[in-house]
Amino acid sequence: MAWIKPMPAHPVVAVAGATGAVGAEMLKVLAQRGFPANKVVALASSRSVGKRVAFGTGDLVVEEMQPSSFHGVDIALFSAGADVSRRFREDVTSAGCVMIDNSSAFRMEEGVPLVVPEINAADIAWHPGVIANPNCSTIQMVVVLGALAELAPLSRVVVSTYQAASGAGQAAMDELYDQTADFLEGRTLAPSAFVHRIAFNCIPHIDVFLEDLSTKEEWKMVVETRKIMHAPDLRIAATCVRVPVLRCHSESINVEFAAPVDLADARAALRSAPGVVLMDDPSSKTYPMPALLASTDDCYVGRLRTDPSVPNGLAMWVVADQLRKGAALNAVQIAEVLLGNG
């Protein structure tokens, strides 16, 4: 059943998990985009109570997240992990608050919309009090695929990801910093946030392995893309790799279409697509690179070319900031759509 409670023009917004990397970015995005909140509340676990987190030109005092925290709150942006989201779901929705959840808890639940506003904002209309934010690597891919799907139906997608430490949280980012220094100084490396050392290494393993030998991260890219794009039969193969980059995920994407797609038409479609920047000039060695695009909002596309190995194929390189469009920004954009401002 779709949510029927009207949303006020100036809602009260809570950020759950405000002391984490994504939560902090949500607060930053809310302030930078001038989100018309009547009030913003920072929530976290009991161990963070009393801490101050940056918001706009000032800061907020962190409050403990409890079942009663959502009374009087209209929108709750959750970045506290799947178990926490599941535990607080009923408390949030029974208070008349809409949960926009960044975890994997509800993404594939029937009846819960999984939303990237540039692609399927209309799905928000049937939310049941919960709206799911997709996986970071899925978001940046579907923003680009959605623009290209306007030219011809998609037939097959093959994607290899080069995912930054930011996708594993603040502790993983800290580990990349620390291990890099330790490696350069010849000290012993002790992996903690990752299963292997991340400094000067690539780890082809994100999340758990499944029975078919793919990882759950790879599975997410397949099933989430199909749900967002309303394409249940789209063939997708994904390989997800963690790389020693602090922020911004990169993806090598090969797309096969059901009909011919002219390269010039693809360039034009990407140039005009919301949330996409075509950064592609081989003559000047211009293409997206994660080190140069941290803290940006768009999905950047370069190395666009014909894929001669399949009929009607294109190949490309896509970069986006995991903490921004891959998490915090997409969640805030969903909230903007709820207000009719998206």
CB hemisphere CA count around 243 (13 angstroms): 16
Indicate the length of the chain as a whole number: 342
The DSSP secondary-structure symbol of 135 reads P
Short-list 167, 123, 173, 171, CA closest to 324: 167
Closest CA to 84 of 96, 62, 68, 67: 67
> CB pairs under 8 A, 24+ apart, for 332-336?
332/26, 332/29, 332/30, 332/33, 332/35, 332/77, 333/117, 334/100, 334/115, 334/117, 334/124, 334/131, 334/133, 335/13, 335/35, 335/75, 335/77, 335/100, 336/33, 336/35, 336/117
Q: How does DSSP classify residue 244?
A: S
| Strand 75-78 to 98-101 pairing | parallel
Q: How far is CA 150 from CA 39, 77, 258, 261, 271, in A?
A: 39, 31, 12, 10, 13
Active-site pick, 97, 240, 248, 249: 249
d(CA 159, CA 217): 12
- Asked if 249 is an active-site residue, the reply is yes
Which residue blocks in 185-273 are alpha helix, DSSP H?
216-228, 263-272
Residues 6+ apart with CB under 8 A from 104: 82, 135, 220
- From the candidates 136, 240, 248, 299, give the one annotated as an active-site residue: 136
Whether 318 contacts 299, CB under 8 Å: yes
| Active-site amino acid positions | 136, 249
